[in-house]
Amino acid sequence: MTFNQRTALVTGAGRGIGKAIAEVLAKNGVTVICVSKSPDSCGGVAAAITAAGGKAKAVPVDVANGAEVTKAAEALLAEFGKIDILVNNAGITRDGLVARMSEEDWNAVIQTNLTSAFHWTKAIGWPMCRARYGRIVNIASVVGLVGNAGQANYAAAKGGMIAFTKSIAKEFARRNVTANVVAPGFIKTDMTAVLNEEVQKAAIGMIPMQRFGDPADIANMTAFLCSEESNYITGQVFTVDGGMAM
């Protein structure tokens, strides 16, 4: 994969999939701005990347807060001059059946998983268009394609992320800015570690490859979509799920 002196911003880079994405980009020579909610988690990842010889900066931002996102994006654009790659990965779950779901849990998931991508894209996407270069990768979920009982808020956010990505792909294409979606299945992170043994067993039963994926499986696909080599791919959804949603 080729990256020509690129700078990337990865949200949710403190743990799990986002951390793996930050690491693989940094290994390929990309300067990585690691965003997470807690200063400790993005700080730890950025420090480890720097210690390994890479280039990284930690920026704690609550992505659910639009004003905070806009302020951080403006400051980072002023500091770095440009951001070439945006990976909207931060996400949460607040599961429950619709009949029992609070409006607070609905809003928290939509704000964190979907509205955050709107704010980052608005702030960083247009400068990418002016520079006539950009790669945007949004991390959705297979749940955004097929739905899931008990996850209506999460499925709505992820399905919205897919439609949002296709729309910005169409808006930005003639300015050489691509936008694609990676839709993971079950991946071994803190998000799935909370599932009880019975649920994990049932999930594995639905996966033809009969195991959960690793964060690196998502990171490798994401990095390809951020690289120069993916330059004619836009508006697409790539499921990385061991065959679950085929």
| Catalytic residue ranges | 154
Q: What track of x and - describes contact with ligand NAP for positions 107 through 136 (by CB under 6 A)?
A: -----xx-----------------------
* Residue 102 burial (CB count, 10 A): 11
- 177-236 binders of ligand NAP (CB under 6 A): 184, 186-187, 189-192
**# chain residues binding ligand NAP, by CB under 6 A:** 30
- The reply on whether position 62 binds ligand NAP by CB under 6 A is yes
Residue 160 binds ligand NAP (CB under 6 A): no
Task: Look up residue 124 and give its two tokens.
Answer: 């960083």
Which 3 state secondary structure label does DSSP give 87?
Answer: strand
Per rule CB under 6 A, is residue 139 in the interface with ligand NAP? yes
CB of 98 to ligand NAP, least distance (A): 19
CA distance 55 to 34: 10
Nearest to 36 by CA among 3, 71, 69: 69
- Cβ closest to ligand NAP, residue 64 vs residue 85: 64
Helical segments of 52-142, H only: 66-80, 103-110, 116-131
**DSSP letters spanning 18-46:** HHHHHHHHHHTT-EEEEEESSHHHHHHHH
> What are the residues binding ligand NAP (CB under 6 A)?
11-12, 14-18, 36-38, 41, 61-64, 89-92, 112-113, 139, 141, 184, 186-187, 189-192
